[in-house]
């Protein structure tokens, strides 16, 4: 700890081995582990590729409206500037991939597309990438997409925002989960969704498989992730196996990430 306290912020940032990306302009995002050379000696993708990770099954995924929690306003209202922000001058996309995927017809679509970009870039695409790396190394991965939405007591639409799956993971409906009481949007199938999701997570913790090791009539079979179909489980009004979630967008982000020196399969 003494050695850590002796370092200034610039030295801590310089210690990170994560490939540097340009400072984001207008897009509110960027979660990444702190590569401190102690707890995390290297980025997780590099550790998996080099077989320097604890080889265990993975359960991971994202929510339908992840980016809406972070990107609450337009990065710009100007179409030319929007596309510049997606390009080499903005996000550092040398191949101009993102500007061809996150297109808009007019300024009214900029906020929604920006929210989608933030969610895909920060959560959805990295989750799929990690699942692919794990199965490439012979481990199993289980991918989910949380889509549960509702309306609060004022009739306001409540999206599947970042972290709104947490009450359900622990078997609670949102009205009984203190951090989210303000939403108060209860659906008729919320109690069932909470029970099923908590069963999945408990099974995974116990067996390394959300399906458990015995027949359970309550649970829809959660498919093991496969690169060919990009299989995942949708968790929302319906609980059902699906394939190829936002494939165009995630494929594009994978190519973008490779430009920045990150590992992708």
Instruction: Give the three-class secondary structure for 241.
Output: strand
CATH number, span 2-259: 3.40.50.1820
Encoding tokens for residue 24? Answer: 């984001």
For the whole model, what pTM was predicted? Answer: 0.87
Specify the DSSP class assigned to residue 9: H
d(CA 68, CA 238): 22
User: Of 38, 32, 31, 36, which Cα lies nearest the Cα of 13?
Assistant: 36
> Which residues neighbour 48 within 8 Å (Cβ) at sequence distance 6 or greater?
130, 133, 134, 137, 263
Q: Taking the alpha carbons of 236, 240, 246, 250 in that order, is the dihedral positive or negative? A: positive
What ranges do the domains of the chain cover? 2-259
**pLDDT of the chain along its 265 residues, tens only?**
787 788 888 877 676 554 444 445 667 665 667 777 788 888 888 999 999 999 999 999 999 999 998 898 999 999 999 999 999 888 888 889 999 999 999 999 999 999 999 999 999 999 999 999 999 999 999 999 999 988 766 566 788 989 889 999 999 887 777 666 665 577 888 999 999 999 999 999 999 999 997 656 578 999 999 999 999 999 999 999 999 999 999 999 999 999 888 899 8
CA atoms within 13 A on the CB side of 143: 26
């Amino acid at each position: 700890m003494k050695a850590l306290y002796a370092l200034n912020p610039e030295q801590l940032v310089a210690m990170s081995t994560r490939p540097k990306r340009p400072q984001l302009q207008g897009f509110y995002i960027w979660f990444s582990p702190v590569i401190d050379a102690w707890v995390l000696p290297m980025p997780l993708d590099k550790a998996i590729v080099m077989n320097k990770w604890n080889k265990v099954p993975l359960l991971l995924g994202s929510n339908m409206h992840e980016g809406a929690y972070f990107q609450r306003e337009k990065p710009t209202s100007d179409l030319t500037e929007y596309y510049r922000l997606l390009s080499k001058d903005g996000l550092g996309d040398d191949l101009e991939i993102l500007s061809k995927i996150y297109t808009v017809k007019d300024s009214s679509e900029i906020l929604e597309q920006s929210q989608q970009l933030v969610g895909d870039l920060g959560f959805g695409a990295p989750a799929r990438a990690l699942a692919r790396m794990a199965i490439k190394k012979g481990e199993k991965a289980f991918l989910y997409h949380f889509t549960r939405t509702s309306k609060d007591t004022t009739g306001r639409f409540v999206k599947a925002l970042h972290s709104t799956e947490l009450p359900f993971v622990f078997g609670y409906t949102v009205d009984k989960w203190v951090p989210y009481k303000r939403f108060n949007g209860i659906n008729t199938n919320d109690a069932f969704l909470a029970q099923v999701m908590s069963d999945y997570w408990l099974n995974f913790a116990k067996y390394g498989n959300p399906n458990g090791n015995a027949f359970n009539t309550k649970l829809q079979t959660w498919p093991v992730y496969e690169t060919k179909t990009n299989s995942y489980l949708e968790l929302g009004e319906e609980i059902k196996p699906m394939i190829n979630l936002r494939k165009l967008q995630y494929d594009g982000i994978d190519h973008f990430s490779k430009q920045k020196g990150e590992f992708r399969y």
